[in-house]
């Protein structure tokens, strides 16, 4: 995964990361507030050798004293030191508790020993440190006295007595909060990446194109005005959604110049992905460009075109199929050069109706009247209706809803289209958040995803041509 991909994940799931940062920081603040304050006082002891007039002896004694410093540092926890401090200060605590309060350090290459004492009281910490330093000097000098000699080989002096510290050594608010923020970021980011890896919902135009094996023809922004103004070009002179549909129209017109699709089926994998809205606006923008267009509602199970456009639907496609009305009489005017053939009465067997040759005949008859026919079909996965229409269209657009449609949905829908030799000319990512849509600009169209896409398209076209010829010969 690239750095850009990680940044995209963090940008999309920043709320999750922020939640963990806030929780971890709050926990750090709580722990800091509840933790008892501990103060540390330090007494410094200097270690030197006993005087000698011989320079060589002085050098050897000094080297010996410096070497002994590291050994002396461990004496602070000796029972003799602990008992001396307990007696001196009249401390009613155990040896182990007192030993836990004391520590000693010896800086490298120096003849210094620092005696540290910790306590909840700064004054008590200083008293314990000074008492321990005095006991340490006595015990250490006793250890350094050679057998048969009354004079120790080294001398120890308290050079800097301990004073009551002004600030505690723990807890450390800044460090604790910094650790809380860091851990929150780490855990939040890790969980965000894990959720993104496990989340197979389509949220990117490139991922949609990859899943479908076809180019992304359009990316349509989420617009709260859609329910009130379903036709984007009528929602205002200039708006992002209208520009998205104009770009979709342009991409379709340049998608395949050799075999220009005039009958375009618009479908989706599952319901509620916005295919009907896409179909309506595609037809509207084609009409806006000066073409004559007929929008056909072939979603016979859940027809919504008439309702969205505010048209009556007593007669329509099914009425024409049973010769109840002439095609020209069933077509309703929805705007300049924009006609609509509603679904008509719902038949008991939609799949069989759409699979009939009469549907093909009606669509071909429409091509004698208009430049383009846009067909709104049923979703592909629940029923076979959509694939029946896609099989007779020049090209099919597959609509996927941002953050709802999954990778598996798209692949299954494409497989359904492949089984009927439908020509999938591209995909549309619908209802993309406006901020996300800005990332795509107007550069999301690619002529081909890869060589396999082009080969598959040519194979479909060839099979479809043969199939149409066979059906024509059979009718003759």
- Residue 437 belongs to a domain with what CATH number? 3.40.50.300
Are 157 and 48 spatial neighbours (Cβ–Cβ below 8 Å)?
A: yes
Say what the pTM is: 0.68
Residue 82 domain flag: yes
Residues 214 and 332 in one domain: yes
Query: Do 134 and 43 belong to one domain?
Result: yes
429: enclosing H helix or E strand: strand 424-432
Return the closest-CA partner of residue 343 out of 307, 386, 298: 298
- My answer on whether 113 and 225 are in the same domain is no
How is residue 94 written in tokens? 């155990």
Write phi, then psi, for 161 (nearest 5 degrees): -65, 155
Query: What sign does the dihedral 363-375-392-382 (CA atoms) show?
Result: negative
Is residue 444, in this structure, part of any structural domain at all?
yes
- The residue out of 160, 181, 215 marking a domain boundary is 160
> Which domain-ending residue is among 108, 133, 160?
160
Compute φ and ψ for 217, nearest 5 degrees: -85, -25
Domain that holds residue 293: 204-475
pLDDT in tens, the chain (476 residues): 788 888 988 988 999 999 999 999 999 999 999 999 999 999 999 988 765 555 555 566 566 666 678 778 888 999 999 999 999 999 999 999 999 999 999 888 788 999 999 999 999 999 999 999 999 999 988 876 654 455 566 788 999 999 999 999 999 999 999 999 999 999 999 999 999 889 999 988 999 999 999 999 999 999 988 988 899 988 665 689 999 999 999 999 887 767 789 999 999 999 999 999 999 999 999 999 999 999 999 999 999 999 999 998 889 999 999 999 999 999 999 999 999 999 999 999 999 999 999 999 999 999 999 999 999 999 999 999 999 999 999 999 999 999 999 999 999 999 999 999 999 999 999 999 987 666 554 444 443 444 444 445 555 545 544 554 454 444 44
Evaluate whether 396 touches 298 at the Cβ level (below 8 Å): no
How many domains, the chain? 3
Q: Which of 310, 241, 255, 302 is nearest to 276 (CA)?
A: 302
Are 234 and 125 part of one and the same domain? no
Specify whether 259 is located in the same domain as 128.
no
Residue 314: inside a domain = yes
Q: How many residues does the structure list for the chain?
A: 476
Same domain? For 31 and 109 the reply is no
Q: Are 284 and 433 in a shared domain?
A: yes
Catalogue the E-assigned strands of 12-166: 39-49, 102-105, 112-119, 154-160
165 belongs to a structural domain: no
What is the rounded CA–CA span in Å between residue 121 and residue 7? 49
Peptide bond into 171 cis (omega under 30): yes
Please check whether residue 54 lies inside any domain of the structure. Answer: yes
Cβ neighbours around 30 below 10 Å, total: 12
Does residue 166 lie in a domain region?
no
- Is the residue at 69 inside a domain? yes
Residues 118, 149: one domain?
Answer: yes
- Residues 410 and 280 grouped into a single domain: yes
**Is 99 in the same domain as 223?**
no
Q: Does 126 map to a domain? A: yes
Q: Give the max Cα distance, the chain.
A: 133
* Residues 215 and 348 both lie in one domain: yes
- The Cβ-side half-sphere exposure at 424, using a 13 Å CA radius, reads 35
- CATH classification at residue 107: 3.30.70.1130
Question: Cα–Cα distance between 21 and 23 in angstroms, integer?
Answer: 5
Mapping DSSP to helix (H, G, I), strand (E, B) and coil, where does residue 244 land?
A: helix
- Mark whether 108 and 55 lie in a shared domain: yes
């Amino acid at each position: 995964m690239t750095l850009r991909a990680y940044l995209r994940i963090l940008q999309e799931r920043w709320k999750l990361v922020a939640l963990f940062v806030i929780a971890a920081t709050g926990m750090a603040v709580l722990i800091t507030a509840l933790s008892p304050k501990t103060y540390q006082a330090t007494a410094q002891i200097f270690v030197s050798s006993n005087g000698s007039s011989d320079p060589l002896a002085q050098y050897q004694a000094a080297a010996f004293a410096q070497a002994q410093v590291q050994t002396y540092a461990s004496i602070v926890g000796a029972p003799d030191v602990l008992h001396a401090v307990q007696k001196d200060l009249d401390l009613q605590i155990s040896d182990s508790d007192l030993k836990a309060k004391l520590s000693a350090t010896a800086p490298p290459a120096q003849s210094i020993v620092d005696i540290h004492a910790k306590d909840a009281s700064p004054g008590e910490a200083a008293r314990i440190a000074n008492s321990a330093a005095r006991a340490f000097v006595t015990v250490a000098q006793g250890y350094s006295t050679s057998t048969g000699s009354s004079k120790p080989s080294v001398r120890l002096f308290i050079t800097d007595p301990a004073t009551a510290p002004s600030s505690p050594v723990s807890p450390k608010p800044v460090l604790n909060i910094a650790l809380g923020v860091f851990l929150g970021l780490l855990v939040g980011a890790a969980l965000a990446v894990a959720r993104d890896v496990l989340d197979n919902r389509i949220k990117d135009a490139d991922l949609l194109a990859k899943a479908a094996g076809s180019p992304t023809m359009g990316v349509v922004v989420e617009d709260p005005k859609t329910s009130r103004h379903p036709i984007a070009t009528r929602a205002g002179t200039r708006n992002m959604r209208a520009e998205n549909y104009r770009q979709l129209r342009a991409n379709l017109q340049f998608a395949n110049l050799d075999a220009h699709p005039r009958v375009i089926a618009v479908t989706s994998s599952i319901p509620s992905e916005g295919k009907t809205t896409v179909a309506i606006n595609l037809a509207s923008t084609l009409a806006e460009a000066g073409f004559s267009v007929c929008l056909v509602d072939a979603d016979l199970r859940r027809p919504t075109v008439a309702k969205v456009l505010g048209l009556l639907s007593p007669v329509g496609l099914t009425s024409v199929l049973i010769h109840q009305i002439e095609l020209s009489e069933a077509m309703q005017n929805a705007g300049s050069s924009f006609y609509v053939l509603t679904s008509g009465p719902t038949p008991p067997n939609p799949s069989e109706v759409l699979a009939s040759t009469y549907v093909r005949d009606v669509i071909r008859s429409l091509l004698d009247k208009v430049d383009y026919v846009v067909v709104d079909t049923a979703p592909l996965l629940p029923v076979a209706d959509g694939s029946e229409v896609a099989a007779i269209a020049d090209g099919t657009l597959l609509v996927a809803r941002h953050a709802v449609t999954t990778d598996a949905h798209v692949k299954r829908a494409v497989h359904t289209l492949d089984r009927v030799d439908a020509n999938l000319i591209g995909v549309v990512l619908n209802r993309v958040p406006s901020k996300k849509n800005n990332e795509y600009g107007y550069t999301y169209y690619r002529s081909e995803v890869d060589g396999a896409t082009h080969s598959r398209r040519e194979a479909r076209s060839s099979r479809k041509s043969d199939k149409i010829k066979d059906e024509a010969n059979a009718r003759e």
